[in-house]
A and B are shown apart, each in its own frame.
Chain A
């Protein structure tokens, strides 16, 4: 085809036939799924198969909400223990002192190497082994702390300590990978300014390590939210235990499992959004332009589609060549 100089011609995009067929199949499967989950009736009955009326009825009952509160509390406390202790262990791993780094390594080895379920049962029964603990210097009469284990290890505390100590092992590995991701030159620059080792760690290394640490930590929080359901082993009435208690009385198993699942999904969604903004905060300086917020991205998408629909793309062949 011969074009004359500056005339604009329309650009015809490639038609992706395979992509359209794929999308059609997916849409069909989704429609069937929505139909069976939401609209289909139970065999031989008039109520919906999944008992949505029952789901809505129990969704905000006292028992379920109390269970949810306990789940959130347990997640927050266990993660706090996990993150604080995990970072300490991560820093210990990098110590030049072999005893210190070796101890940190052994901690991770032990807690990663045994099932968390077993650890929970272990803490639940520890009071049988030690009625009290005294923290002090062995072989001398020096005491810092005295703890009555029988009184301390309530079901809630057992779950909190058990999940938190286990989490610390995983968090320490995440922390360590973050710490070693920071360029050696950053440490040299801080040192040459006269910063102490702890200033360098706090002011230079940790803030930059955060970029690497945050995404898997968000993953861990969400994972912890669901792992708290293991606290059923030590009879804490968190969310899952709460719905189990209800359905063991009324036998509406599926609707109540849906109640719990929906709550887990809602909290996970909120956590994911929070994680996005925390990540964005710690990306400061790492990228030339910060990534758009979800709202900004939505606006860009809408604008893009709108402008595509309004007019086909046109170019001047000469300029495009």
Chain B
């Protein structure tokens, strides 16, 4: 803990609730992501990990509780003691500064690798085509794929596609990166190359929230680990401590299955 007055956290969730058709998926989630830190989120399938990321990125509206990203309420604005719903344009602008990486990559199939990385810059951030291309090439070099810019996603391996997807998100100069099981769809021998890119990103000081089943990565890279179970945070803290010394029976049983 810093002794100076702490800056506003990047993500601050207090009692966040979300239901789908009457079924409560998130049942009061509390979570804090500090700037420049890597937060790992683990938990069994269906516990609400993806839903939480989607709420942070305005892809879903939470029903109750307080969710702040970079100090701003997600989806609402507080003025004169009233909550005003943000309009689409504001929400799009917010989203464009939050990078998201998906389990199934979701690269644009009809665009080349280079176009995948420039389209957001040009169409959303109004960067010139030349500047966007230059930035795309730098990012491709950074993820080790500078030779593939003319290829289509279908011509790449899963690991390569995921690295392009990370470059695509980084091209928007995000203040926060969300990863939803980025290595779960990969063959085991391809997991390493994606984790390496993510470690490099963590070292560069990017604020990251990573949903993962890679406990090695969590132990090595994460500053904070959260265990989500049935829509609530069951346990959290320093990953080495939490993983070595799980307090709840649920976490112990979960770890015995994934380790």
Chain A residues within an 8 Å CB radius of B140: none
**What string of 1s and 0s marks CB contacts (under 8 Å) between B94-121 and chain A?**
1111111010101111111000000110
Chain A residues within an 8 Å CB radius of B154: 285-288
Q: Which residue of A is nearest B165, CB measured?
A: A189
B102 near A185 (CB under 8 angstroms)? yes
B152 near A284 (CB under 8 angstroms)? yes
Docked complex Cα distance between A208 and B110 (Å): 6
A27 interface residue (CB < 8 Å to B): no
A195 near B92 (CB under 8 angstroms)? yes
User: Given the interface contacts A194-B172, A196-B89, A284-B152, does A203 sit within 8 Å of B119 by beta carbon?
Assistant: yes
B123 near A195 (CB under 8 angstroms)? yes
A189 near B172 (CB under 8 angstroms)? no
Q: Which residue of B is nearest A198, CB measured?
A: B88
From 59 to 103 in chain B, residues with beta carbon under 8 angstroms from any chain A beta carbon are 59, 88-89, 92-100, 102
**What string of 1s and 0s marks CB contacts (under 8 Å) between A193-205 and chain B?**
1111101000110
Q: Which residue of B is nearest A202, CB measured?
A: B123
Q: Report the minimum CB–CB distance from B149 to chain A (whole Å).
A: 14
The answer, among A194, A282, A286, A288, for a CB contact under 8 Å with B96, is A194
Q: Report the minimum CB–CB distance from B53 to chain A (whole Å).
A: 10
Chain B residues within an 8 Å CB radius of A204: 108
A193 near B124 (CB under 8 angstroms)? yes
A301 interface residue (CB < 8 Å to B): no
Q: Report the minimum CB–CB distance from A189 to chain B (whole Å).
A: 4
User: Given the interface contacts A203-B119, A284-B152, A285-B154, does A194 sit within 8 Å of B93 by beta carbon?
Assistant: yes
Docked complex Cα distance between A189 and B124 (Å): 13
A285 near B106 (CB under 8 angstroms)? no
B239 interface residue (CB < 8 Å to A): no
B88 near A192 (CB under 8 angstroms)? no
Docked complex Cα distance between A287 and B109 (Å): 10
Q: Report the minimum CB–CB distance from A303 to chain B (whole Å).
A: 26
The answer, among A191, A196, A285, for a CB contact under 8 Å with B153, is A285
User: Given the interface contacts A285-B152, A285-B154, A286-B154, does A193 sit within 8 Å of B109 by beta carbon?
Assistant: no
From 150 to 192 in chain A, residues with beta carbon under 8 angstroms from any chain B beta carbon are 183, 185-186, 188-192
Q: Which residue of A is nearest B107, CB measured?
A: A189
User: Given the interface contacts A188-B59, A189-B102, A286-B110, does A195 sit within 8 Å of B124 by beta carbon?
Assistant: yes
A317 interface residue (CB < 8 Å to B): no
Interface centre among B93, B123, B168 (most CB of A within 10 A): B123
Docked complex Cα distance between A39 and B202 (Å): 82
Chain A residues within an 8 Å CB radius of B19: none
From 194 to 225 in chain A, residues with beta carbon under 8 angstroms from any chain B beta carbon are 194-197, 199, 203-204, 207-208
B59 near A185 (CB under 8 angstroms)? no
Chain B residues within an 8 Å CB radius of A286: 109-110, 154
**What string of 1s and 0s marks CB contacts (under 8 Å) between B106-148 and chain A?**
1111111000000110011100000000000000000000000
User: Given the interface contacts A189-B102, A285-B152, A288-B154, does A194 sit within 8 Å of B120 by beta carbon?
Assistant: yes
Chain A residues within an 8 Å CB radius of B89: 196
B224 interface residue (CB < 8 Å to A): no
**What string of 1s and 0s marks CB contacts (under 8 Å) between A279-293 and chain B?**
000101111100000
Chain A residues within an 8 Å CB radius of B97: 194
A186 near B106 (CB under 8 angstroms)? yes
Chain B residues within an 8 Å CB radius of A196: 88-89, 92
Chain A residues within an 8 Å CB radius of B236: none
Chain A residues within an 8 Å CB radius of B168: 189, 193
Chain A residues within an 8 Å CB radius of B94: 194
B98 near A192 (CB under 8 angstroms)? yes
Q: Which residue of B is nearest A282, CB measured?
A: B110
The answer, among B96, B106, B123, for a CB contact under 8 Å with A203, is B123
Can you offer 12 A-B residue contacts whose CB atoms are under 8 A? A183-B106, A188-B59, A192-B95, A193-B120, A194-B97, A194-B120, A208-B108, A208-B109, A285-B111, A285-B153, A286-B110, A288-B154
Residues of B at the A interface (CB closer than 8 Å) are 57, 59, 88-89, 92-100, 102, 104, 106-112, 119-120, 123-125, 152-155, 165, 168-169, 172
Shortest beta-carbon contacts, A-B, top 6: A194-B96, A285-B152, A189-B106, A185-B106, A193-B120, A192-B100
